[in-house]
A and B are shown apart, each in its own frame.
Chain A
Amino acid sequence: MSAREPSARPGPGCTRSFTVTFDGREIEVLPGRTVAAALLAAGVTSWRTTRRAGRPRGVFCGIGVCFDCLVTVNGRPGQRACLRPARPGDVIRTEEGTGHAD
Chain B
Amino acid sequence: MRTDLVVIGAGPAGLAAALAADARGTRVAVLDAGPAPGGQIHRQPPAGADTAAATAPPHVRRTWRSLAAALAASTVTVLTEHHVWCVEPGFTVHALCGPGQDEPVAVRAAAVLLATGGYEKVLPFPGWTLPGVLTAGGAQALLKGALTAPGQRAVVAGTGPLLLPVATALAAAGTEVAALVESAGPTALLRHGPALAAKAPEGAWHAARLLRHRVPVLTRHTVVRAHGSAALTGVTVAALDRAGHVRPGSERLLHCDTLAVGHGMLPHTDLAGSLGCPLDGSAVRVDAEQRTGVPGVWAAGEATGVGGAALALAEGHIAGRSAAARLRGAAPDPAGWSAAARARRTLRAGAAALDAVFAPPAGWARQVTDDTVVCRCEDVTAGAVREAVDRLGAEDLRTVKLLTRAGMGWCQGRMCHPGIAGLTGCPPVPPRALPARPVPLGVLARQATEEGTA
Contacts and interface: CB of A to CB of B under 8 A. Distances in A.
A7 B150 contact: no
Interface in A34-52: 34, 36-37, 40-41, 45-46, 50-52
A47 B90 CA distance: 41
B418 to A, nearest CB: 13
B230 A67 contact: no
Contacts of A37: 142, 145-146, 148
Contacts of B376: 57, 60, 66, 68
A2 B145 contact: no
A55 B438 CA distance: 23
Given A14-B49, A53-B379, A59 B134 contact: yes
A85 B36 CA distance: 13
Nearest to A67: B410
Given A1-B132, A1-B231, A56-B231, A63 B137 contact: yes
Interface string B243-274: 00000000000000110000000000000000
Given A1-B258, A6-B147, A87-B99, A82 B131 contact: no
Contacts of B409: 67
B132 A85 contact: no
B141 A56 contact: no
A62 B138 contact: yes
B177 interface: no
A62 B141 contact: yes
A7 B51 contact: yes
7 smallest CB-CB distances across A and B, nearest first, come from A32-B46, A62-B138, A37-B146, A67-B410, A14-B48, A1-B257, A58-B131
Given A1-B152, A10-B48, A55-B129, A32 B146 contact: yes
Contacts of B52: 7
Interface string A3-42: 1111111111111000000000000001111101100110
Interface residues of B, number: 58
* Prevailing SS type, chain A contact patch: loop
Interface string B378-419: 110000000000000000000000000000011100110000
Contacts of A83: 33, 101
B135 A62 contact: yes
Interface string B170-182: 0011100000000
Interface in B136-176: 137-142, 145-152, 172-174
Contact of B134 (A10, A60, A78): A60
Interface in B89-119: 99-101, 119
Given A6-B174, A65-B415, A82-B141, 15 more contacts: A3-B151, A10-B50, A31-B46, A32-B45, A36-B142, A37-B142, A46-B231, A58-B132, A60-B138, A61-B135, A62-B134, A64-B33, A65-B414, A67-B377, A73-B100
Contacts of B150: 3, 40, 59
B123 interface: no
A61 B131 contact: no
A100 interface: no
25 contacts: A1-B231, A1-B232, A2-B151, A2-B152, A3-B151, A6-B173, A7-B49, A13-B48, A32-B45, A40-B148, A45-B132, A51-B379, A58-B132, A58-B134, A60-B138, A62-B135, A62-B137, A62-B140, A62-B141, A62-B142, A63-B141, A64-B33, A65-B414, A66-B411, A66-B415
Contact of A41 (B101, B148, B257): B148
